Amino acid sequence: MISWKALQAFLVLTLMAGQTVASHNQARHAHAKHAVAHAAAPVKRAARRGSCKASLSLSASSSSSTPTTTSTTDSTPTTSSEKAASTPKSGGSGGNNGGNNGGNNGGSDGNSGGGKPINSVKAADGFTPNGKKAGTSSGNFYSNLQPHIGWWYDWTPTPAWKSDAIPVPMLWGGGSADGTDSSRLATFKKITNAPQYMLGFEEPDCAAGGGSAGMSVSDGVKIWEQYIAPFKSKGTKLGSPSMCKQAAETWLKQFTEQIKTDYDFTAIHVNKNNMAGVRADLDHYAQYGKPIWVTEFACVDDQNGFTPCTNQGQINSFINDIVDLFESDGRVAAYAYSNGVGLGNVWPMSNGNGDLSASGKAYIAAISKYH
């Protein structure tokens, strides 16, 4: 017979053996769960990489599937075989390479890279004389300017060839403003050879006198078609009449609508003392869809009458800024320093002694960075 103590010992050993087996099975189950979870983690990371790669591929595919269109900046029709100048895409209406108020590569102080000219932003082909935008009016100090300019004019029908810079003839007015106007018209009628470029009337939108031709739109259309338009068929590029009222003009709009023979580039005058005003003028005339020639520019406060700048420091800064602006704006094909009347005694290129003025020296220094 088994004693009671032996029976108790047997029961205790049996119970302990059962707990050990249960604990071992639990541990094995937990280890198996951990192994499954650990094996699943790389699958999730792989899936995450796959989804990322898929989204990148989708994005690239969407990008590449977008059709590329060619911009037609010359959608405004012109009678010239050349395309109209297009507005630069960067820098806004102020143009490329650093914007307008400071211009290319370092602003008004410039950076010629140790004497190497700064690149100008090209306008429409065939509209920048000799490939140099800079020019001058009147021909004063031509020998000083000549290495740096591509063209010049003096408001007459017969500016002389001086050297490489192209002389551009002009029909100043309709012959009725004064004796000089009448003489110029008579001389213009005698021109037989077709020049490369020709300019239209001088400020016909303001009353005659004080440097303006003073013409009605109907008279302007008639004289344009009679005397200027025939040169177009001979290969001359024609410049529009230039306005006195700048961006406030309405004369040119009416003229453009009424003429039969279109002009090839828009000639404008800019009399301002800040670059915001200059940009506004350029933006206005860009609407005509042609390359722009700034045939006169000067530092003038035009908000209070017509007051020429007199501070030399202001003038020097204005010259540097406006040259940089014109050179960096692809709409501008040419520009000329104004030596016209009514500009005070500080702006003109000639000082009281007949020598090159500080303003003239500032202009030569500014254009020397480019040409």
Task: Compute the average pLDDT of residues 257-267.
Answer: 98
Alpha helices in 164-293 (DSSP H): 179-188, 217-223, 251-258, 275-286
Question: Across-strand partners of 266?
Answer: 292
Q: Is residue 213 part of a domain?
A: yes
What is the domain extent for residue 334? 95-108+123-368
* 313 vs 112, residue with greater confidence: 313
> How much of the chain, in percent, has pLDDT values that exceed 90?
63
Confidence of residue 370 (pLDDT cuts 50, 70, 90): very high
Q: Residues of 308-327 as b/e, b for ≥16 C-beta within 10 angstroms?
A: bbeeeeebbebbbbbbbbbb
Token pair 């914007």 is found at 99
**Residue 169 structure tokens:** 């003839």
Q: Residues of 334-352 as b/e, b for ≥16 C-beta within 10 angstroms?
A: bbbbbbbeebeebbbbbee
The model's pLDDT over 194-221, given as tens digits with 9 standing for 90+, comes to 999 999 999 999 999 889 999 999 999 9
Task: Compute the average pLDDT of residues 211-239.
Answer: 98
d(CA 317, CA 365): 12
Q: Is residue 283 part of a domain?
A: yes
Confidence of residue 352 (pLDDT cuts 50, 70, 90): confident
The model's pLDDT over 34-54, given as tens digits with 9 standing for 90+, comes to 333 333 333 322 332 232 322
Q: Is residue 18 part of a domain?
A: no
Which of 323, 318, 335, 270 lies closest to 117, judged by CA? 323
d(CA 73, CA 153): 30
Tally of domains in the chain: 1
Whether the CB-CB separation of 108 and 321 falls below 8 Å is answered with: yes
pLDDT surpasses 80 at 363: yes
Q: Is residue 174 part of a domain?
A: yes
Q: Is residue 207 part of a domain?
A: yes
Q: Is residue 37 part of a domain?
A: no
CA 282 to chain centre: 9
Number of residues that make up the chain: 371
Task: Compute the average pLDDT of residues 321-343.
Answer: 96
d(CA 349, CA 210): 20
The model's pLDDT over 65-118, given as tens digits with 9 standing for 90+, comes to 333 333 333 333 333 333 333 333 333 333 333 333 333 333 333 333 446 788
| Widest distance between CA atoms in the chain | 158
For the domain that residue 311 is a member of, what is the CATH number? 3.20.20.80
Q: Is residue 27 part of a domain?
A: no
Q: Is residue 28 part of a domain?
A: no
